Amino acid sequence: MKTILVTGTAGFIGFHLAKRLLNDGYRVVGVDSITDYYDIRMKIRRNKILLESQNYKFYKTNIADYKALDKIVKKEKPEVIIHLAAQAGVRYSLTNPWAYAEANYLGTMNIFETAKNNKIKRVLYASSSSVYGKNTISPFSEDHRVDQPISIYAASKRANELLAHSYHHLYGIETAGMRFFTVYGDYNRPDLALFKFTKSILLGKPIDVYNNGEMGRDFTYVSDIVDGIIAILNKKDLNYEIYNLGGDNPISLMNFIKLIETNLNKKAKLKMLPMQPGDVKENFADVTKARRELGFDPKIKIDKGVALYIDWFNKNKSWLLKLKEGKQ
Ligand SMILES: NC(=O)c1ccc[n+]([C@@H]2O[C@H](COP(=O)([O-])OP(=O)(O)OC[C@H]3O[C@@H](n4cnc5c(N)ncnc54)[C@H](O)[C@@H]3O)[C@@H](O)[C@H]2O)c1
């Protein structure tokens, strides 16, 4: 049985990935420090589901603590590391950049360092569409420039890609940076728009609409992201790679809100606000490379994905409506 170490398993994407790996017959070692950036009750719930599997072993550990991380790797001997733990969120990176320094800079360096010291051949890690920053050529392609990040979060994710290059060059570690584009689905993060909008509409509260609604996002359903990660995991040859993993299905913010309204059968109260510093106006993905090299084929279109999400939310309303949304 192959052992995979996944960081961030109490998080949204890590949870879904670990669930799939366990279903597919892998042994999963999960590492997460369960930070309180958003309501930890969501993280504990996800982790509890994973702990139902005998093939899941969990360590509540901070990846910024090298000794603790290295000890786990030495004991569990994973063949591959899939590194998804991070301090996420664009806006919070402007108020608490130190959280990003700890988790994203130091934490990611520790991941590569332990991979090097324990001869782990392959490391997949989460990057982000936010690395495209000021790039205005749309859709975003892997060969576009990414040297103008506009948030501390984006800069930290780009730094991870550069670090991966050094570790690949120096020690031959196979690396793949995965630039995710606005991932959504059940158990998603309560600090993200879909959760916040759904909750506020149900409670009759106004929702914050930035840049007067003139924004666009390439929403990617989480099962499609997991398919992409598994395809990279199974890819025979890997050197230093970067892949856009997006839904190939862009939508404007106003149409996104309309879709939620339709599914909830309730109108939203809109609070129009200016653009937020650090935010990008549009993030549409060009997934040609992932299609060609991985057979990546995002299947869940936004109408179906939002319908699935609202259905799940309605069934879980009693606890979801109590969750705190996340630090700003
Ligand atoms: N969700 C998206 O739309 C999206 C888009 C682009 C990139 N990403 C990236 O994908 C990855 C997963 O995102 P997510 O949406 O699941 O976020 P998430 O916040 O739900 O999950 C990240 C997990 O990492 C853990 N963590 C944070 N700092 C840690 C540390 N120092 N040590 C150990 N664990 C720590 C957190 O407790 C959390 O459970 C992140 O790297 C994120 O930056 C996500």
| Confidence at residue 149, expressed as pLDDT on a 0 to 100 scale | 97
Maximum alpha-carbon separation in the chain: 56
| Confidence at residue 267, expressed as pLDDT on a 0 to 100 scale | 97
Strand partners of residue 216: 252, 282
Buried (b) or exposed (e) across 237-247, using 16+ Cβ within 10 A? ebebbbbbbbb
Query: Whose C-alpha lies nearest to ligand 1, atom 44?
Result: 180
Buried (b) or exposed (e) across 282-301, using 16+ Cβ within 10 A? bbbbbbebbeeebebebebe
| Confidence at residue 280, expressed as pLDDT on a 0 to 100 scale | 84
Query: Whose C-alpha lies nearest to ligand 1, atom 39?
Result: 11
Task: Tell me the per-residue pLDDT of 10-31, one tens digit each, with 9 for 90 and over.
Answer: 999 999 999 999 999 999 999 9
Q: How far is it, in rounded angstroms, from Cα 271 to Cα 212? A: 9
Closest ligand 1 atom to residue 157 Cα is 43
Query: Whose C-alpha lies nearest to ligand 1, atom 1?
Result: 183
What amino acid occupies position 212? Answer: N
Select from 20, 35, 192 the residue to mutate for testing ligand 1; criterion: most ligand atoms less than 8 Å from CB: 35
Q: For residue 236, how far is its CA from the centre of ligand 1 (angstroms)?
A: 27
Length of the chain: 328
Q: For residue 13, how far is its CA from the centre of ligand 1 (angstroms)?
A: 7
Give the residue carrying structure tokens 């890690």.
125
pTM score, whole prediction: 0.98
Tokens of 128: 């982000």
Q: For residue 325, how far is its CA from the centre of ligand 1 (angstroms)?
A: 15
Q: For residue 88, how far is its CA from the centre of ligand 1 (angstroms)?
A: 5
Q: How far is it, in rounded angstroms, from Cα 85 to Cα 108? A: 9
Tens digit of each residue's pLDDT, the chain (328 residues): 899 999 999 999 999 999 999 999 999 999 999 999 999 999 999 999 999 999 999 999 999 999 999 999 999 999 999 999 999 999 999 999 999 999 999 999 999 999 999 999 999 999 999 999 999 899 999 999 999 999 999 999 999 999 999 999 999 999 999 999 999 999 999 999 999 999 999 999 999 999 989 999 999 999 999 999 999 999 999 999 999 999 988 899 999 999 999 999 999 999 999 998 888 888 899 999 999 999 999 999 999 999 999 999 999 999 999 999 888 8
As a CATH number, domain 3-184+220-245 is 3.40.50.720
Provide the CA 287 distance to its chain's centre, in angstroms.
17
Give the residue carrying structure tokens 């504990």.
44
Query: How wide is the angle at C-alpha 226 spanned by C-alphas 284 and 240, nearest 5°?
Result: 75
Catalytically annotated residues: 153
Of 326, 180, 222, 201, the C-alpha closest to 266 is 201
Q: Which residues line ligand 1 (CB under 6 A)?
A: 8, 10-14, 31-35, 43, 62-64, 84-88, 102-103, 107, 126, 128, 180, 182-183, 189
List of residues 6+ apart from 40 with CB closer than 8 A = 34
**DSSP secondary structure string for all residues of 226-249:** HHHHHHHHH-S--SEEEEEE--S-
SS3 content of the chain, % helix, strand, coil (to 5): 45, 20, 35
